[in-house]
Structure formats: C-alpha cells, structure tokens
Amino acid sequence: MSQPRRARAKALAVASEIYPLVKTGGLADVVGALPGALAREGVETRTLVPGYPAVMDKLEDAEPVHAYRALYGGPARLVAGRVGALDLIALDAPHLYSRPGNPYIGPDGADWPDNAIRFAALARAGADVALGVLKGWRPDLVHAHDWQAALLPAFLRYQDAARPATVVTVHNLAFQGQFPRDMLGALGLPPESFAIDGVEYYGAIGFLKAGLQLADAITTVSPSYALEIQSPEAGMGLDGLLRARAAALHGILNGVDTDVWNPKADPHIAAAYAAPNARAKQKNRAALRARLRLDDDPQALVLGVVSRLSWQKGLDLLLECLPTLFEENIQLALLGAGDADLEAAFRAAASSHPGRIGLFLGYDEQLAHLVQAGCDALLVPSRFEPCGLTQLCALRYGAVPVVARVGGLADTIVDANEMALAAGVATGLQFAAGSAARLAHALRRAAALHRDAPTWKALQANGMATDVSWDAPARHYADLYRALIRANASNRRVA
Ligand code: ADP
C-alpha cells in the first residue's frame, strides 16, 4: 500500500446512540464497532455522544475538556474518556439529556418535545470540536450519523473558519428530523440558512435534509439502498436531492462486531461452535425452545425473528402466513418490541398456538444471541431495509437467512436458486418484498431445503464462511475519508 494512503487521519464521529451504552437499533451497533475497525485502517476516531445517564455513569472519571456557560438554555460541558476501546466525548448537558430510558421518547411514549433543541445541541457541539475547541485535538474529518447529528454540516457552512471534511451517513431515511421554521433562531441557525440549498425542507426545517445537502459526501449502508433512495418510491421526499447529489452518494455495507457476535465464544448461548455442528445446534435449539416454551419437536424447523415491530419490518405479513407455518411444521421464535397492534396480534397468535409460537415481547440483547444460535432459519421480511444486521449475525451463527429482496438484504444474502446451489455459493433465501404470498412461498422453499439435510448444511457452511466483519467496510470508509480530506485541503488552498 502506498504511503500517503496510510497517512493517519483523525475523525470525529457524532451520533445519538452507541453500543454498548445506548442502543435502540442498528445505528448503535455501527457507531460502536466502526472506530475499532477504522483504527486498523489508520484512522483514529473519537465519538461525540449526548451525555445521557447511561453514558455519564460509564464516564465517571472523564476529564472535562470544554465548558459552555450556556448551551441552548443551560450550562454544559464536554468531557472525554474511554469506555472499553471507544474514545468518547460526551456532551454533558443535564437540561437536555439527564433523562433515563429511551434516548428519544419520554415516559408518555411520545417524542421529547425539545428533541429539535437536544440534537441541535449535539450537532453544535460537534461543530465546535470540528473547529478546534479541544486543546491539542482537531479532526481532519467529521462523520455525522443520521438526522440527530445531521445539522452539523450546516453549522460549519454558515461561518468563515476553515473546516474539516464532512460525511453524513443515512442509516434509515424514514427518520428525518423535521421541525417548524419558526425554530430557526432557537436552533442557532442564521436566517440565510433557511433556503432550498440550506436547511429548508418543504417549508420547514429538515435536519437530515440539511446534512444531505451540505455534507461533502453522503453514505448509506448498502449499495442497493443507495440506489433505491434515489427513486420516488423509496426516497421519502428526499429522492430529488439524492439524485442531484448522486456523485457524492456512496453505499457501504455494514459489518457486525465479530467479537460480540461470535458463536465460538458467546456467553449467551448453550453450546459453542465454529462450523455447522448438529449437536451444538441441537443444544442451542433446545435452550431456545425451553426459554420460549416451544414444543420439543425434533422434526420442526425453528424460524427465528429478532426485530423492531414496525411496518418497515413486514412482520404483519408473517401473521398472514401462520397457516403455512403450521402446514410446513415450522415453529416461530420471535424476539421483538414495537407497535402495540403488532405486539397484540403476536400475543393472540401465541396463545392460540401454544408450543408452536414462542414470543418474547421486549428488548433483550442476550436472548438475541440465543435466537441466532438456536433457530434453524432467521426471517427478515422487511418492506425496506437500509442494510439489516440480523441477517449478518444469522450468517455467522449458521442460521439460514430468509430475507426480502430489498436494500442491504438483497446485497448480503445469496438466494438458493438452482444456479447458486450448483455453484455452491448460496447462503439463504430471498423473496419479493411486501407480499405475504411470496413470503409463504419462501417459507415452503425453506422447509423443503431443510428436509434436504446435506443442502441445508451447505447453506449453513457457506453462510458461516461469509466475511461479515467490519474489515471490508472499514477499508471503504477509510478510502472515502482520505479522498475527502485531500479534496478539502486542496479546496482550502484554492480558496
Ligand atoms: P434496525 O436498526 O432497523 O432496528 P437492524 O437490523 O439494522 O435494524 O439492527 C437491529 C439491531 O437491534 C440488531 O443488533 C438486533 O439484534 C437488535 N434488536 C432488534 N430488536 C431487538 C430486541 N427486541 N431485543 C434485542 N435486540 C434486538
């Protein structure tokens, strides 16, 4: 590798979640795992996160590195410290973040009414770090994740000082952060920012829109999703902007943390294994069945689901396929939480079919590992899916993914069609997204393949041999970072 490519780069990541401190979904996994993988590519990352109680508790000995007399209505500080291998900067602003539980939602189940201010403050603090408020550390590049951090490029744009390069990553275009235009002043944005090439979005203020408009580059979490979001069907109002910025838009797949998701050494499963291993699978399946009160039926295929329960995830389609499950002797092991209607529907299905449908309705990180290790196949029937992580974990655990052919699911699973089976490269099954009939067909195909033990074992082996680590994605990010840093430096020289 040539010398300049390996020059060390300093990156500031800014995000509203980070595993293992605060997690509501895949965003936290990515933000928690990418720094370690980037370090191996010569990129040093510090990550700025809100100082929620779950963060501040872990940063007891953190060092204060900057103080704000007033930041959006109260005193605040930046504190720096390490949690495991993560180099964190927390925005300690009790008036904004000293609230337990979910980072976005209050005890009444509704978004916190001041979310615009809470995440504008995160972006503002990120911009301050970008512009050099920390003694002795200034990033070459800032990486803002999702709408909660996406105002950052706007704060950098409407000022005169030299700024680092900027990237915004869209983890899910469905979450955009839209707020009324009369908040412009309260958010600390100048009047000129309220323009079509600034933060204005259909007459309101769009946080994600601002980031997509103003960042040097945009990434999203799979090549297919990068294409899909440029279409009116999947663009959620932003497809025009994304088409206009297509040259700056990159699809980079997520990986999984292969230390956290490691069937060879996983404290949350019943038996460890390194390759398809019928005896270990049997033990893990038995533990999962016991946990979710599923019948001990040696012939049945256990179909796992680990998911938020929302329209996006398509699990209402699975409810339509219950007759197929029973006809094909498929047991369901579902770990999920979310929409009350879906939770109620699954609860009703489970009580009508005890022993055949096992549920845990809630969030349980450890059980997620046992589902992956104990199920035979893992279902991800999403209507849209930017990348999806559970199918990657499934590959690693020898659970055969059955996925909708959309976004990152389409990019990561090789369907067991005749050609792929003959070539020995199939890893799972795909079906057309959004159709219960196609899902039922895929479940019948899965059951048939499962009855063909050597073929099923080949699918498991191919899946377990697939590289789902962060190595390749981190290389892509590091290459992109370096290209942006170079371009930013030469723009500065021209200016
Ligand atoms: P999304 O971010 O849209 O929810 P992803 O597939 O990208 O979907 O990431 C979901 C992450 O959250 C995975 O790490 C998955 O294991 C985890 N997860 C989802 N639901 C649950 C749950 N109920 N309990 C434990 N972990 C869950």
Nearest 10 degrees: Cα torsion 235, 241, 247, 249: -50
Pocket lining: 365 vs ligand 1, CB cutoff 6 Å: yes
Task: Tell how far the Cα of 488 is from the centroid of ligand 1, in angstroms.
Answer: 36
Asked, for residue 272, whether it belongs to a domain, the answer is no
Cβ 148 vs Cβ 168: under 8 Å: no
Say whether both 431 and 373 belong to one domain. Answer: yes
Select from 22, 29, 309, 359 the residue to mutate for testing ligand 1; criterion: most ligand atoms less than 8 Å from CB.
29
What is the CATH number for 460?
Answer: 3.40.50.2000
pLDDT of residue 6: 64
Pocket lining: 389 vs ligand 1, CB cutoff 6 Å: yes
Atom of ligand 1 nearest to the CA of 387: 7
Say whether both 250 and 328 belong to one domain. Answer: no
Cβ 274 vs Cβ 263: under 8 Å: yes
pLDDT of residue 495: 64
Cβ 226 vs Cβ 212: under 8 Å: no
One-character DSSP codes across 297-343: -TTPEEEEEEEEESGGGTHHHHHHTHHHHHHTTEEEEEEEEE-HHHH
Say whether both 64 and 108 belong to one domain. Answer: yes
Pocket lining: 26 vs ligand 1, CB cutoff 6 Å: yes
Pocket lining: 366 vs ligand 1, CB cutoff 6 Å: no
Pocket lining: 390 vs ligand 1, CB cutoff 6 Å: yes
Blockwise average pLDDT, block size 10, the chain, 495 residues: 64 98 94 97 98 95 96 98 97 97 93 98 98 97 98 96 97 97 98 97 98 98 98 97 98 96 98 95 98 97 98 98 98 97 98 98 97 98 98 98 98 98 98 98 98 97 98 98 96 75
Task: Tell how far the Cα of 389 is from the centroid of ligand 1, in angstroms.
Answer: 7
Atom of ligand 1 nearest to the CA of 221: 7
Pocket lining: 388 vs ligand 1, CB cutoff 6 Å: yes
Pocket lining: 308 vs ligand 1, CB cutoff 6 Å: yes
Domain extent for 19: 9-255+471-494
Asked, for residue 179, whether it belongs to a domain, the answer is yes
Asked, for residue 364, whether it belongs to a domain, the answer is yes
Task: Tell how far the Cα of 7 is from the centroid of ligand 1, in angstroms.
Answer: 35
Dist. CA 95–CA 342, nearest whole Å: 35
pLDDT of residue 139: 98
Say whether both 419 and 311 belong to one domain. Answer: yes
Say whether both 39 and 133 belong to one domain. Answer: yes
Task: Tell how far the Cα of 309 is from the centroid of ligand 1, in angstroms.
Answer: 10
Residue 404 structure tokens: 């909708």
Say whether both 435 and 486 belong to one domain. Answer: no
Which uninterrupted H or E stretch holds 143? strand 141-145
Task: Tell how far the Cα of 388 is from the centroid of ligand 1, in angstroms.
Answer: 8
Select from 266, 307, 339, 403 the residue to mutate for testing ligand 1; criterion: most ligand atoms less than 8 Å from CB.
307
Domain count, the chain: 2
Lookup result for tokens 């929620």: 52
Atom of ligand 1 nearest to the CA of 25: 2
Atom of ligand 1 nearest to the CA of 362: 23
Q: pTM of the full predicted structure?
A: 0.95
